[in-house]
Structure 1
């Protein structure tokens, strides 16, 4: 999902972050060099290092921005939800919105997981991705706790989280939102069975 930056009109930091978001998502974190990012952002290399201590710091900022972008999609969907079941399904809707965003080189799945797959196992960015996924599961659990008993809510939140991640992986491979829409339908059926 493209970051909601201000493009060339914004400050250098935002232009760098926007360029990094586009390139990291399209080409990968490892394959994208600092020179590519600074050229796309239209800034000098020193400007990048004045705003980010290292490429690793830029990757962390990118991951945080993607997390915040997704939360905005979720909040917008949840605001229009009619009750706890709709709030649970809003998580799925936010992922559909994410898949339907206008990506320069097409939808490639979860940018957070794509980046995490390239990072060393002890990289702070991997912890940020894990925190995002845990927050998604927590959002599912919040709504489910209003619908079913606590033990069932925890199991169902875990199941829906796995359903969502599997659907996101397949959607990324296929480049469409179809699997996410299927996952939303399955989630609605599971919630209705409560």
Structure 2
């Protein structure tokens, strides 16, 4: 029995959609291309997803889960606030360094959101992902600063991260993310030096 046969049709469709949506865009990718890439009949797609819109949302949710796994793998080695912030940046660098059909094209979630109308479930899912990333940064920074300062700094680092991802995607390489991580290191070091740690925080 082949490896493809053992993989459930739903997963094969999601995997195929992930490759094609990232490489060619969601709107430009038709159902026929997805089913051909997955090696399943068109009816199989509609047996697993009510519509292409539902498949696109599933793709976005899968990308979010994929990033969380990259972050958690990095976070296992975190021993300080600085390490925690680096883990977030490194998880994005891991994403950028993965193998793609047409190379790295930036944040797959932002690329997807750019194709969707305002208020759509997919855009809402991308927004929640970005909010969670910023919240994770803030959680790490609370070891160094009071809540308000940690949140404000997390917002700055999130903007730095998004800018680096955009430039890295345009240039098709991950070194912009390495530069951004070094900038983030400087921000966190300055925060520690300023001594904003709360009474209950642990540097």
TM-score (ref. length: structure 2): 0.91
Mapped pair 1:33 → 2:46: no
Q: For 2:164, which of 161, 167, 182 is the aligned residue?
A: 167
Is residue 76 of structure 2 the alignment partner of residue 76 of structure 1?
no
C-alpha distance in 1 between matches for 2:68 and 2:4: 21
Question: Residue 128 of structure 1 aligns with which residue?
Answer: 125
Distance 1:88 1:188 in 2: 8
Task: Indicate the RMSD between aligned Cα atoms, in angstroms.
Answer: 1.0
Q: Distance in 1 between matches of 2:24 and 2:94?
A: 21
Q: CA deviation at 1:88?
A: 1.4
The 2-side partners of 1:9 and 1:29 are apart by 27
Give yes or no for the alignment of 1:96 onto 2:82: no
Deviation string, structure 1 residues 118-153 (Cα, Å, up to 9, x no partner):
011121000000000000000000000111122211
Contact 1:116–1:125, Cα closer than 8 Å, also in 2: yes
Q: Partners in 2 of 1:153 and 1:89 — Cα distance?
A: 15
What is the CA distance between 1:9 and its match in structure 2? Answer: 3.3
* Cα distance in 2, alignment partners of residues 169 and 114 from structure 1: 10
The runs of 4+ residues in structure 1 deviating greater than 6 Å are none
- Structure 2 match to 1:3: none
Q: Give the match for residue 115 of structure 1.
A: 112
- 8 Å CA contact 1:91–1:136 kept in 2: the answer is yes
What are structure 1's unaligned runs of at least 5 residues?
Answer: 1-5
Asked if the contact 1:34/1:55 (under 8 Å) is kept, the reply is yes
Q: Which residue of the other structure, out of 20, 26, 35, is the alignment partner of 2:17? A: 20
Q: TM-score, normalised by structure 1?
A: 0.95
> Partner of 2:102: helix, strand, or coil?
coil
Asked if residue 137 in structure 1 is aligned to residue 134 in structure 2, the reply is yes
Is the 8 Å Cα contact of residues 7 and 18 (structure 1) preserved in structure 2? Answer: no
Q: Aligned residue for 1:45?
A: 42
Deviation at 1:8, TM superposition (A): 5.2
Displacement of 1:104 in angstroms is: 1.7
Instruction: Tell me which structure has the larger Cα radius of gyration.
Output: 2
For the pair 1:176 / 2:173, whether they are aligned, the reply is: yes
Q: How far apart are the structure 2 equivalents of 1:79 and 1:32? A: 37
Tell me whether 1:61 sits opposite 2:58 in the alignment: yes
